[in-house]
Amino acid sequence: MTTPARIVVVGGGITGVAATHRLTELTAGSDTEIVLLETEHRLGGKIKTSSFGGTLVDEGADAFLIRTPHAVQLATDVGLGESLVSPTSASAAIWAGRLYPIPSDLALGVPTSLMSIARSGLIPPAGLARAALDLIRPRSEIGHDSIGQWTRSRFGHHVHDRLIDALVGSIYGADTDHFSLAAVPQLHGLAEAGRSAVLAGRRMRSSAPANSGPIFGAPPLGMEQLITSAISHTLDRGAGRVQVLSGARCETLEQTPTGWLVNGIEANGVILAIPAHCAAPLLAGEVATKLRSLETADVAIVTVRVNAADWHNHLHHRSGYLVPKSQQRLVTAVSFASQKWAHLTQADGSQILRISLGRDGLPIRELDDTALIDHAIEETNEHLGISIERSGARVSRWTDAFTQYRPHHARRITEIERTLPDFLHIAGSSYRGIGIPSCIADGVRAANELLTTLAD
Ligand SMILES: Cc1cc2nc3c(=O)[nH]c(=O)nc-3n(C[C@H](O)[C@H](O)[C@H](O)COP(=O)(O)OP(=O)(O)OC[C@H]3O[C@@H](n4cnc5c(N)ncnc54)[C@H](O)[C@@H]3O)c2cc1C
């Protein structure tokens, strides 16, 4: 078969949108129909932007890495390239009894200069002395594939807790003592590069291109603009061949002699661009069991407004802060959205804060919205010494949001893929990276591979 009659993509998050976009591009000039099925009445999944007191504020992801090409490439393809915005120069902090500046010369939390972490005041003298042993200790064993085990063996508890776990844990909703080192390529690269992590990090930073511009970007109307622009571009390009069915959960998936029946729709091939725990019930046998075995963590974001009069001077020029595991109750990070993004500056000087709660090992599912708001406000007030009013607070729940990449995650994914039936591909944040660029890359990979196998 060279031109399939129909392909179904299940899941309208960024992975499914990227896969649909790529399939449309690859089948241009053919009659191949592409159908995107999404349970919700909106597309975007964990990308969602909505009005908060008249300002468009993201409820989930608020930026993507622009130093890896995939998200910038998609944004450029769909006409957003020139309009992308980047965070201001406001800097982030760590809360450990008070706010400490995050040293500027870290490589994903790994110090590249012991002087600069000493100057930050964040690491107590005993922690600094232990961290210095990184320079003389023999190479660490990394076969266990746990971030915590590797970073603790290099630096001891304080640097692990206050820098590496705080930064990496907030990205993955993770407890890095139970998270795969190999799944975080930058850290894995440092662990493999040599004996000392400090020296490996220093070499990595010095070999990076100088003045390589901002690290993060976002569309000016919020992350959902990437989804809406990508879909309208795809529908234009597809000229009647592409259908987006929202409010249409995929309930049944049956294999047929010529491909698949998806909710009764015949298809030659299917991409399941949904998290593993959503894909498992659609499949049977070993593959379903393995997908179900991937654990997840819940997070929530409580968005609040702080009046200008209640915002303290020492908080200006900060983009927010992280709370290390040893200091956490439920709040793990607070983003000062109005200082992080110039376009979210409020004319009346008030501040919009996005407060993150929950992670692996810090459950929030049982708490109702009132309790989440109470925790968010009480803990943030205590951290910052301010007084946040609860009226207008918004709760965005992200249940099963982050698949936990346990040690040897990559091996588990390879085994899952080996047991997949023909002409069925899986893609998305459960498998090869949770960041938006990784999800886009995975959607594109699934589209490429499916069309290649259908053409064989
Ligand atoms: C609070 C939060 C903040 C984040 N911040 C960032 C950030 O700043 N930068 C970054 O790069 N990443 C961030 N991430 C991670 C990133 O947003 C996600 O990993 C990514 O958006 C996941 O995309 P996805 O398409 O793989 O999955 P999802 O977004 O989960 O999309 C899957 C879609 O499939 C649908 N679906 C599920 N089952 C079915 C079915 N049976 N039939 C039809 N449809 C179905 C769902 O409704 C959903 O719309 C954040 C995540 C969260 C939760």
Residue 11 confidence (pLDDT) above 50: yes
pLDDT in tens, 408-437: 999 999 999 999 999 999 999 999 999 999
**129 near 357, Cβ under 8 Å?**
no
Distance CA 57, CA 43 (A): 17
What confidence score (pLDDT) does residue 206 get? Answer: 82
Across 9-13, average pLDDT: 98
Give the residue, 236 or 3, on which the prediction is more confident. Answer: 236
Across 283-290, average pLDDT: 96
What confidence score (pLDDT) does residue 210 get? Answer: 65
CA of 253 from ligand 1 middle (Å) equals 21
Helix-strand-coil split of the chain, %, nearest 5: 40, 25, 35
Domains and CATH numbers, the chain: 6-47+68-82+221-294+406-455 (3.50.50.60), 102-207 (1.10.3110.10), 296-403 (3.90.660.20)
In ligand 1, the atom with minimum distance to the C-alpha of 401 is: 53
Across 257-271, average pLDDT: 96
What confidence score (pLDDT) does residue 428 get? Answer: 98
**60 near 436, Cβ under 8 Å?**
no
What is the pTM (predicted TM-score) of this model? 0.97
Ligand 1: residue whose CA is nearest its atom 2: 60
Distance CA 151, CA 173 (A): 18
Q: How confident is the model at residue 168 (pLDDT cuts 50, 70, 90)?
A: very high
Closest CA to 78 of 245, 182, 230: 230
Across 239-266, average pLDDT: 96
What confidence score (pLDDT) does residue 421 get? Answer: 96
Percent of the chain topping pLDDT 90? 94
In ligand 1, the atom with minimum distance to the C-alpha of 37 is: 43
**304 near 49, Cβ under 8 Å?**
no
| Close Cβ partners of 281 (under 8 Å, ≥ 6 residues apart) | 288
In 101-143, where does DSSP find H-type helix?
114-120, 125-132
What confidence score (pLDDT) does residue 213 get? Answer: 81
pLDDT in tens, 323-354: 999 999 999 999 999 999 999 999 999 999 99
Residue 280 C-beta-side C-alpha neighbours within 13 Å? 13
CA of 170 from ligand 1 middle (Å) equals 16
- DSSP-derived 3-state class of residue 253: strand
CA of 203 from ligand 1 middle (Å) equals 34
Pocket lining: 249 vs ligand 1, CB cutoff 6 Å: yes
Pocket lining: 398 vs ligand 1, CB cutoff 6 Å: yes
Residue 35 confidence (pLDDT) above 60: yes
CA of 61 from ligand 1 middle (Å) equals 9
What confidence score (pLDDT) does residue 104 get? Answer: 83
pLDDT in tens, 205-228: 888 776 668 899 999 999 999 999
Token duo for residue 85 = 């915005």
What confidence score (pLDDT) does residue 205 get? Answer: 82
Least confident of 35-44, 152-161, 210-219: 210-219
Residue 364 confidence (pLDDT) above 50: yes
Residue 390 C-beta-side C-alpha neighbours within 13 Å? 12
What confidence score (pLDDT) does residue 257 get? Answer: 93
CA of 444 from ligand 1 middle (Å) equals 16
pLDDT in tens, 95-146: 999 999 999 889 889 999 999 999 999 999 999 999 999 999 999 999 999 9
pLDDT in tens, 296-311: 999 999 999 999 999 9
Pocket test for ligand 1, best of 46, 64, 334 (most atoms within 8 A of CB): 46
Pocket lining: 301 vs ligand 1, CB cutoff 6 Å: yes
pLDDT in tens, 45-80: 999 999 999 999 999 999 999 989 999 999 999 999
Q: How confident is the model at residue 231 (pLDDT cuts 50, 70, 90)?
A: very high
Token duo for residue 316 = 């200006």
Mean of the per-residue pLDDT values of the chain: 96
Token duo for residue 199 = 């020296």
Ligand 1: residue whose CA is nearest its atom 13: 61
Q: How confident is the model at residue 170 (pLDDT cuts 50, 70, 90)?
A: very high
CA of 165 from ligand 1 middle (Å) equals 22
Ligand 1: residue whose CA is nearest its atom 21: 46
DSSP letter string over 356-382? EE-BTTB--TTS-HHHHHHHHHHHHHH
Q: How confident is the model at residue 2 (pLDDT cuts 50, 70, 90)?
A: low
What confidence score (pLDDT) does residue 1 get? Answer: 47
Across 21-26, average pLDDT: 98
Residue 270 confidence (pLDDT) above 50: yes
CA of 301 from ligand 1 middle (Å) equals 14
Q: What is the DSSP letter of 345?
A: -
